[in-house]
Homo-oligomer: A and B are copies of this chain.
Amino acid sequence: MKIGIIGLGLIGGSLGLDLTARGYEVVGVSRQQETCDRALAKGIATITGQDLRLLDKTDLIFVCTPIGAIVRAIESIVPYLPPETIITDVGSVKGAIVAPATKLWSNFVGSHPMAGTAHQGVEAAEYNLFENAPCVITPIAETSPEAIAKISQIWEALGCKLYHTSPEKHDCAVAWISHLPVMISANLIHSCSEIKSTEVKQLAQALASSGFKDTSRVGGGNPELGLMMAQYNRQELLNSLLEYRQNLDLLIDNIEKENWDFLEQFLSDTQDLRANFLH
Residues of A within 8 A of B (CB): 114-116, 133-134, 136, 161, 163, 165, 169-170, 172-174, 176-178, 180-195, 197, 199-201, 203-221, 223, 226-227, 230-231, 234, 237-238, 240-245, 247-249, 251-252, 255-256, 258, 260, 263-264, 266-271, 273-279
Counting chain B CB atoms within 10 Å of each CB, the highest count among A133, A188, A213, A269 belongs to: A188
Copies in the complex: 2
Question: Is A211 within 8 A of B218, CB to CB?
Answer: yes
Nearest residue in B to A210 (C-beta to C-beta)? Answer: B116
Q: How far is the CA of A115 from the CA of B207 in the complex (A)?
A: 10
Nearest residue in B to A240 (C-beta to C-beta)? Answer: B191
Question: Is B188 within 8 A of A227, CB to CB?
Answer: no
Q: How far is the CA of A173 from the CA of B192 in the complex (A)?
A: 9
Q: How far is the CA of A56 from the CA of B273 in the complex (A)?
A: 45
| Smallest beta-carbon distance A93→chain B, Å | 13
Contacts A191-B240, A256-B238 given; indicate if A271 touches B217 (C-beta within 8 A): no
Q: How far is the CA of A234 from the CA of B211 in the complex (A)?
A: 19
Chain B residues closer than 8 Å to A251, beta-carbon distance: 183, 186-187, 241
Chain B residues closer than 8 Å to A211, beta-carbon distance: 177-178, 181-182, 217-218
Tell me which of B231, B245, B256, B275 contacts A249 (CB under 8 A).
Answer: B245
Contacts A114-B209, A271-B220 given; indicate if A276 touches B181 (C-beta within 8 A): no
Question: Is A177 within 8 A of B207, CB to CB?
Answer: yes
Tell me which of B116, B186, B203 contacts A270 (CB under 8 A).
Answer: B186
Chain B residues closer than 8 Å to A269, beta-carbon distance: 190, 193
| Smallest beta-carbon distance A156→chain B, Å | 15
Nearest residue in B to A264 (C-beta to C-beta)? Answer: B227
Question: Is A169 within 8 A of B200, CB to CB?
Answer: yes
Chain B residues closer than 8 Å to A181, beta-carbon distance: 188, 211-212, 215-216
Question: Is A276 within 8 A of B193, CB to CB?
Answer: yes
Question: Is B271 within 8 A of A177, CB to CB?
Answer: no
Question: Is A172 within 8 A of B192, CB to CB?
Answer: no
Counting chain B CB atoms within 10 Å of each CB, the highest count among A182, A221, A255 belongs to: A255
